[in-house]
Amino acid sequence: MSVKIVTDSTSDLPEEIVKELGVTVVPLSVFFGEEAYKDGIEITREEFFKRLTSGNDVHPHTSQPSVEDFVAVYKELTDKGHEVVSVHVSDKMSGTMNSARLAQAEMPDAKITLVDTGLAALALGLVVKFTAEAAAAGKSFEEVVAVARETSEKTHCYFMPATLEFLQKGGRIGKASAIFGGLLSIKPILTIQDGEVRPFTKVRTEAKAVARLLEIATAEGPFAEVGVIHEGEGPSVTLLTNHLKALSDGPVVSGQIGAVVGVHTGPGVIGMALRKA
């Protein structure tokens, strides 16, 4: 019997880390019109961004995992005698926590605790990673739950979408809605605070936005662990990765965004997830 970690596909953790730590990822779905694809299973990120940028498709939307999806995962793990800590994307951004809650209610005898991290993308990913490491180190169920909750508070992210179009269409912008409506073309740096996307600052060019990300990291560092949120590669990704390397001891986690996060940020997003000790 051990403590197992479940998360959802918005966590954007690299495949090898997920495997190594034995984390179960419940996929959300991406829809192009009527066609549904399970995130990372029925559609790869490469296929997804190709379709997204081809311009021939309807704008995609996303959907939380079904209650059955969670029941199946929870049942498999608890039948083997495991205890489950289910660590998820912000309740304010996705219905994923709702599905998990209903699944939990279906299984009153199973030992399952849900944690709303109030985060998304690799920021969620870093919480999941550290929680899974605590579980692997043999910590008790209660201790692992406490780690998940505390780490959620200590983890932040900042990111710059290449365009505002996708955030606007997806509606998952929380208080960042204030940045729309202007004629001026701007590059906003956004953050997640209190479970919602919020504007942090606005500049006019990508070069300046990246420079601001570096400044923010330097001002807030050092960190226990850091990761780069990105889609694709490029000089900005390399620059940010190298800068972050100096601000923590471990390797920089690469959080390529998956299809579900990609629906809302669009391609070309760049950002960073920062976990304080």
Partner 1 sequence: MAGSPPNPLTGDQYRQMVVTGARYVEKHADEINALNVFPVPDGDTGINMLLTLRAANESAELPPIGTGTVAEISAALSRGALLGARGNSGVIFSQFMKGIAEGLAGAETCDGADMVTALTAAAAAGYQAVGTPVEGTMLTVMRGAAEGVADVTGSNAEVLAKALDAASVALAYTPEQLPILKEAGVVDAGGQGVVAFLAGSLAYVTGEDVPLEITAPLGGMAGANVSQAFLEHTEDDMYGFCTQFVVLGEGLDVDAVREQVGAMAASTVVIGDDRTVRVHAHAENPGPLLSLGVSLGSVDQINIQNMDVQHQQFMALHGYTQDERSALAVVAVAPGDGLMRLFRDQGATQVVGGGQTMNPSSAQLLDAIKRANAGHTYLLPNNPNIILAANQAAELTGDSVTVIPSRNIPQGIAAMLAFNPDLDAEANAAAMESALTDVQSGEVTTAVRSTTLNGVSIVEGQAIALLDGVVVAATATPNDALIAMLAGAELEEGNLVTLYWGADTPGRIASEAAGAIEARFPGVEVDILEGGQPHYTYLVSIE
Q: What residues line the site for partner 1 (CB under 8 A)?
A: 178, 181-186, 193, 198-208
Please, what is the minimum distance in Å from the beta carbon of residue 29 to partner 1? 33
Q: Give the separation between CA 210 and CA 3, rounded to whole angstroms.
A: 39
Residue number with CB closer to partner 1 (92 or 202): 202
Please, what is the minimum distance in Å from the beta carbon of residue 275 to partner 1? 21
Which candidate, 193, 204, 164, places its Cα nearest to that of 180? 164
Residue number with CB closer to partner 1 (198 or 276): 198
Please, what is the minimum distance in Å from the beta carbon of residue 181 to partner 1? 6
Q: Are 33 and 15 in contact (CB under 8 A)?
A: no
Please, what is the minimum distance in Å from the beta carbon of residue 218 to partner 1? 14
Cis status of the peptide bond prior to 267, with omega within 30 of 0: no
Please, what is the minimum distance in Å from the beta carbon of residue 190 to partner 1? 11
Residue number with CB closer to partner 1 (80 or 204): 204
Residue number with CB closer to partner 1 (92 or 245): 92
Residue number with CB closer to partner 1 (100 or 270): 270
Q: Is 197 helix (H, G, I), strand (E, B) or coil?
A: strand
Q: Are 155 and 126 in contact (CB under 8 A)?
A: yes
Residue number with CB closer to partner 1 (126 or 209): 209
Q: Give the separation between CA 115 and CA 108, rounded to whole angstroms.
A: 17
Instruction: Quickly tell me which residue has 């050092």 as its tokens.
Output: 222
Q: Give the separation between CA 86 and CA 162, rounded to whole angstroms.
A: 32
Which candidate, 240, 230, 238, 234, places its Cα nearest to that of 262? 230
Q: Are 273 and 255 in contact (CB under 8 A)?
A: yes
**Measured CA distances, 217 to 16, 111, 190, 243, 274 (Å):** 26, 38, 14, 8, 8
